[in-house]
Amino acid sequence: MRKSTAAAKITALILASALGITACGTSANKTETAPSTAATEAAATEAAAPEAAASEAAGETASTAAAETEPEAKEIDKAAFDAILAKGPVADDADIEASEWAKKVKEAGKLRVGAVRTAQLFSQLDETDNKMRGFDAGLFQLLARYVLGDESKYEITQVDSSTRESVLTSDQVDAVFATYSITDSRKEVISFAGPYYTSRQAVLVKVDNSEITGVDSLAGKIVATQTGSTGPSILEEFAPEATVQEFETDLEARTALEQGRVDAYVTDYTLMLNALVKEADKFKIAGDVFGPEDNYGIGLPKDSDGVEFVNTFLKKIEEEGLWSELWQVSLGDRTGISEAPETPAVGE
């Protein structure tokens, strides 16, 4: 449960959606799927070494042809972020030996991670030094340090909301960090450590829209949401008379909203935090957040003993204050929120 002051500030200040962050949840009751304007991004493995990261960054296609560039978010404090990683805990040899999942990672000499590289607050590739920073990025680097004693020993496979399970079931990655909702349907295919974060849903509209005041005024409106997210099923429950139009990416959905092709966009409100640092002049939140709490987890192979190992890691960084420090540097300081939320109960 969040501290009330932090929750109030987050709800009041969130005004637009995040760049490239994968939406959470599982798709249900698909209505109308919008044609994708983005080139399909194949999941491609990139080494954490600077030359590999730079090579993939140079070849990455734009998320949509309609939007040429995204506004820049307020920069992260790189020195503070890197300092948090440097003081992360390292697991004992006995703890590694007790986990088949951890032993596999240790023997490989790297942590293979499914992640995104364009989520400015959660997982962003910095092309100036070819390092990944953000809340999710910090967590997987702390985990790499915990297992391997070195936070730089990781390898990225880029994922989106439609590929997060497949990269685990095909053994392309050891774990997925991608604002990944814990759902019953997903737990039939993979396992989750965590939760490590919680969120809810919000309605995004253009800044001059006074007609839509919240989820209760979406009846008869064309509402965008993301394919592979919890959006379609949540809209079916909370706005059954809305016309739902699905888009492949967050950027495509926001572009449609900006161009007036849809009236509103429903997505995870945590994913809208970037408005505070880049697009407050275009979008705003209509009404309050709604829907059930959405718990983010770390995706792991089905029935893996890595769940217990990673949960132990999460509890340790929470107890040592690293979770709160990482949240503050990655999100709080960049969005004007001075108080970190309470950490969720890991393993519950």
Over residues 230-258, the pLDDT tens digits come to 889 999 999 999 999 999 988 899 899 99
pLDDT band at 71; cut points 50, 70, 90: low
Identify the H or E element spanning 168.
helix 164-169
- Residue 111, strand partner residues: 154
Percent of the chain with pLDDT over 70: 77
Q: How far apart are CA 139 and CA 296, in angstroms?
A: 13
Q: Across the chain, what does the average pLDDT equal?
A: 81
Q: Are 311 and 194 in contact (CB under 8 A)?
A: yes
- 336 torsion bin: left (phi>0), alpha (psi -120 to 50), beta (else): left
Q: How far apart are CA 136 and CA 129, in angstroms?
A: 18
For range 188-199, the mean pLDDT: 95
| Residue-level pLDDT at 171 | 98
Structure tokens at 254: 């926001």
pLDDT band at 281; cut points 50, 70, 90: confident
What domains are defined for the chain?
4-37+201-293 (3.40.190.10), 45-197+294-335 (3.40.190.10)
Is the predicted pLDDT of residue 228 greater than 90, yes or no? Answer: no
- Residue 193, strand partner residues: 298
